[in-house]
């Protein structure tokens, strides 16, 4: 079992001040490892980076077709959104279409990350609702699937038909039985796999084989929806949205809590999964950007690339005091 390796460094002047270590895997569409750092067999919880897998049964079950869902719904089902108006209004319209309300969600209330909407709630003397949870799009998908299956309201129960369908899809695309799950921030089960398994799943999304049938079509639809609607997947100022835009439609990206990140690269028929072991999100953002540059799908001269790779660190007076950059293994 390999140890994590240095992936991201923070320098202050001439001094190496901090190092973020982690694991990363690049897989091709055969499921084989193209390149790896650290331990590909490390067992991980991919957190929100697995949302596109969790959304597969929404499509393969026929629920999406019955309810007339399209790319914007699919992007929201994969989203960890800012709860800006474009997110909340779209999820509310989806709820209305289902004949459901905020109380039908099993994710908890969450203060919007979007400052404008947060301040609007404060001025109105209102508390955040479940629809403001960054996972409300995923939960709208779960509600849709539960309704289609005629299943009960507790769709986050691991034994619920919705989560059993998710588990089946998860094991199929990772190519591994899951060793278990943890409960995510939105109360849904988050299934574990190896880092290799997660990269293999992302390569499946990048280039589903013809024999994959409806699951392959669903994976392509979700991937394409993310690429077409990067603003819905995260939001303004977020690495997922900014880097997808900078890659100009060539990559689908998704972050996960505790410094997980995936990339789906259709033109390369590759998938990427990475985990920074100390949970530092800034390091995961730097590392995924460095890998995108390494694979030739992100221009290192693009201004957005410069926000994450070799990014200057400034103090409160605006002085540049250091830099965050990929470690030698990724450079």
Please state the three-class secondary structure of 253-310 as a single string. Answer: EEEECCCEEEEEEHHHCEEEEEEECCCCHHHHHHHHHHHHHHCCCCCCCCCCHHHHCC
The closest of 283, 252, 201 to 18, measured between CA atoms, is 283
Strand partners, 274: 24, 261
The closest of 115, 117, 80, 1 to 281, measured between CA atoms, is 80
Distance between CA atoms of residues 262 and 205, nearest Å: 11
What pLDDT score was predicted for residue 122? 96
- Residue 121's CB is within 10 A of a number of other CB atoms, namely 16
Taking CA atoms, 248 is separated from 55, 252, 293, in Å, by 24, 10, 13
The DSSP code sequence of 202-236 is HHHHHS--GGGHHHHHHHHHHHHHHHH-HHHHS-T
**Residue 304 is encoded by which pair of tokens?**
């957005």
CB 240 within 8 A of CB 230: yes
**DSSP label at residue 155:** T
Distance between CA atoms of residues 327 and 169, nearest Å: 35
Print pLDDT tens along the chain (331 aa). 689 999 999 999 999 999 999 999 999 999 999 999 999 999 999 999 999 999 999 999 999 999 999 999 999 999 999 999 999 999 999 999 999 999 999 999 999 999 999 999 999 999 999 999 999 999 999 999 999 999 999 999 999 999 999 999 999 999 999 999 999 999 999 999 999 999 999 999 999 999 999 999 999 999 999 999 999 999 999 999 999 999 999 999 999 999 999 999 999 999 999 999 999 999 999 999 999 999 999 999 999 999 999 999 999 999 999 999 999 999 8
The closest of 150, 140, 77, 75 to 107, measured between CA atoms, is 140
**Residue 90 is encoded by which pair of tokens?**
């779209």
Indicate the pTM of the whole model: 0.97
Distance between CA atoms of residues 220 and 274, nearest Å: 21
- Domain spans in the chain, listed from the N-terminal domain onward: 5-326
Name the CATH code of domain 5-326 (choices 3.30.930, 3.40.710, 1.10.10, 3.30.420): 3.40.710
The closest of 47, 51, 48, 7 to 25, measured between CA atoms, is 7
């Amino acid at each position: 079992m390999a140890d994590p390796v240095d992936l991201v460094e923070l320098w202050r002047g001439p001094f190496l001040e901090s190092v973020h270590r982690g694991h990363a895997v690049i897989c091709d569409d055969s499921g084989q490892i193209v390149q790896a750092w650290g331990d590909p067999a490390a067992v991980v919880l991919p957190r929100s980076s697995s949302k596109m897998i969790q959304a597969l049964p929404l499509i393969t079950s026929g629920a999406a077709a019955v309810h007339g869902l399209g790319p914007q719904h699919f992007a929201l089902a994969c989203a960890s959104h800012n709860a800006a108006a474009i997110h909340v209004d779209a999820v509310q319209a989806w709820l209305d279409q289902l004949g459901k309300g905020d109380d039908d969600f099993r994710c908890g209330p969450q203060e919007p990350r979007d400052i404008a909407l947060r301040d609007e709630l404060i001025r109105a003397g209102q508390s955040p609702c479940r629809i403001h949870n960054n996972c409300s799009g995923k939960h709208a998908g779960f509600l849709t699937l539960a309704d289609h299956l005629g299943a009960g309201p507790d769709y986050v129960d691991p034994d619920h038909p919705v989560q059993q369908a998710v588990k089946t899809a998860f094991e199929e695309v990772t190519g591994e039985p899951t060793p278990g799950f943890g409960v995510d921030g939105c109360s849904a089960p988050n299934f574990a796999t190896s880092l290799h398994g997660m990269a293999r799943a992302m390569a499946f999304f990048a280039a589903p084989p013809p024999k994959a049938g409806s699951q392959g079509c669903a994976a392509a639809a979700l991937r394409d929806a993310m690429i077409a609607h990067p603003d819905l997947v995260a939001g303004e100022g977020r690495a997922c949205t900014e880097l997808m835009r900078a890659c100009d439609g060539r990559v689908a990206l998704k972050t996960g809590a505790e410094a997980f990140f995936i990339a789906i690269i259709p033109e390369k028929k590759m998938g990427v999964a990475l985990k920074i072991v100390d949970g530092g999100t800034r390091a995961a953002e730097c590392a995924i950007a460095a890998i995108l540059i390494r694979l030739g799908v992100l221009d290192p001269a693009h201004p957005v690339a410069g926000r994450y790779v070799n990014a200057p660190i400034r103090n409160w007076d605006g002085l540049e005091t250091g830099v965050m950059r990929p470690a030698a293994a990724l450079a």
